[in-house]
Amino acid sequence: MQLKTQVGIIGAGPAGLTLSLLLAKFGIESIIIENRSRAYVEARVRAGLLEQNTVDLFKDMGVGERMECEGAEHHGVYLNFDGVRHRVPFKELTGGRCITIYGQQEVVKDLIEARLAQGGEFFFEASAKSIEGIEGNSPEIHFEQNGEKHNILCDFVAGCDGYHGISRQTLPKDSYNEFHIEYPFSWLGILAHAAPSSDELIYSYHQRGFALSSLRSETVSRLYIQVPNDDKIENWTDEQIWDELEIRLSNGSDFKVNRGEIFEKSITPMRSFMIDNMQHGRLFLAGDAAHIVPPTGGKGLNLAVADIRFMAAAFKEFYTNGQEHLLESYSQDCLRRIWRAQDFSNFMTTLFHKQSEHGSFEYQLQKAKFDYIGISEAYKTTIAENYVGLKEI
């Protein structure tokens, strides 16, 4: 089947979905190709932390109603190091900004529902196989669905297809430099029918490894522990996971982790990755297709949405008055925030993960940073404004 649209979007994750809704707001047509089913993408457990900018954008777009009702607004975060705890407040240090805890799968559900309600055109279980003609004015997406071949003639292609997608592979290899860190540890993450163990998130350095206490609702907890890269889910019983979380999250008080049925477990490797050019001709990349941050900073989803704000504004300028200034500056406009998020995510990851022996020079540097958080409002402010997301950058 030969299809035609203004912007062909590959990927129905936070990037592709936000783009399709913003383009519709500007009267710009798009089609989304997604190689998984709707049920799969709506059930895929990933991020959970929304920056202030992301919350504000979703509200402006009119897709924030359930997020406001079911999401949890947090005004601070607890940071532990070897049993000592500091709290970093947000509102006082950032002029009232904060974070909202709301599962990525809920975001995806809300965005898909909103786009379908507008009559948005989706092809689920449709896999983009190639993108042709990006150096001309009518690039083409070739995709397959149910064994049939189709293509979409577009003005532009938005590569929102994540780290393993085809978009980045379509950029000429000499059009970008690649930056990569593979951390020597992974996260074992669980979702459990258990009330959160704390009123705010807890990031904790412990001699046995990092742990993070987060949540999805008043009855569902989201928690993580640092594990070796070659660890396997089957190496852990539920009881061992709960025991390890309780040890690592304790701040020396009588801290108890609330236990319950674990209904989702996964191990995710930690990596920092990015390319320093996100466009070529009529192909523009956004989100994980162009960059990956370790989730310690809670930035992945928020960076994807931040890229899309720039991409949507650039397409709006093009279709409204034929100008291409924002299209030309798209990558540079995105990279300022991406590098800031890479730095903050790397800071949080190297500060709170066990990477060397107790008492080593590296350990002492980690402890010195943590102790400085405890005595410096300036350092707490730096952490707070990066964590809730800088308003402009």
Q: Which residues are catalytic?
A: 74, 203, 295, 299, 387
Q: State yes or no: residue 295 binds ligand PHB (CB under 6 A).
A: yes
Measure the CA–CA gap between 290 and 309, rounded to whole angstroms: 15
Q: State yes or no: residue 152 binds ligand FAS (CB under 6 A).
A: no
Please identify, using beta-carbon distances, which residue of 22 and 301 lies nearer to ligand FAS: 301
Which one of the spans 17-25, 244-252, 291-299, 377-385 is the region binding ligand PHB (CB under 6 A)?
A: 291-299
Please identify, using beta-carbon distances, which residue of 11 and 76 lies nearer to ligand FAS: 11
Residues 6+ apart with CB under 8 A from 130: 141, 142, 166, 170
Q: State yes or no: residue 127 binds ligand FAS (CB under 6 A).
A: yes
Q: Which amino acid is at 160?
A: C
Please identify, using beta-carbon distances, which residue of 49 and 241 lies nearer to ligand FAS: 49
Q: State yes or no: residue 51 binds ligand FAS (CB under 6 A).
A: no
Q: State yes or no: residue 47 binds ligand PHB (CB under 6 A).
A: yes
What residues from 285 to 314 belong to the interface with ligand FAS (CB under 6 A)?
Answer: 287-288, 295, 298-301, 304
Q: State yes or no: residue 15 binds ligand FAS (CB under 6 A).
A: yes
Please identify, using beta-carbon distances, which residue of 120 and 297 lies nearer to ligand PHB: 297
Q: State yes or no: residue 41 binds ligand FAS (CB under 6 A).
A: yes
Q: State yes or no: residue 298 binds ligand PHB (CB under 6 A).
A: yes
Rg of the chain over CA atoms, in angstroms?
Answer: 21
Q: State yes or no: residue 12 binds ligand FAS (CB under 6 A).
A: yes
Measure the CA–CA gap between 34 and 38, rounded to whole angstroms: 8
Q: State yes or no: residue 165 binds ligand FAS (CB under 6 A).
A: yes
Q: State yes or no: residue 49 binds ligand PHB (CB under 6 A).
A: yes
Please identify, using beta-carbon distances, which residue of 179 and 372 lies nearer to ligand FAS: 179
> Could you list the residues that contact ligand PHB (CB under 6 A)?
47-49, 101, 201, 214, 222, 295-298
Which residues of this chain interact with ligand FAS, rule CB under 6 A? Answer: 10-16, 33-36, 41, 46-49, 104, 127-128, 160-162, 165-166, 268, 287-288, 295, 298-301, 304
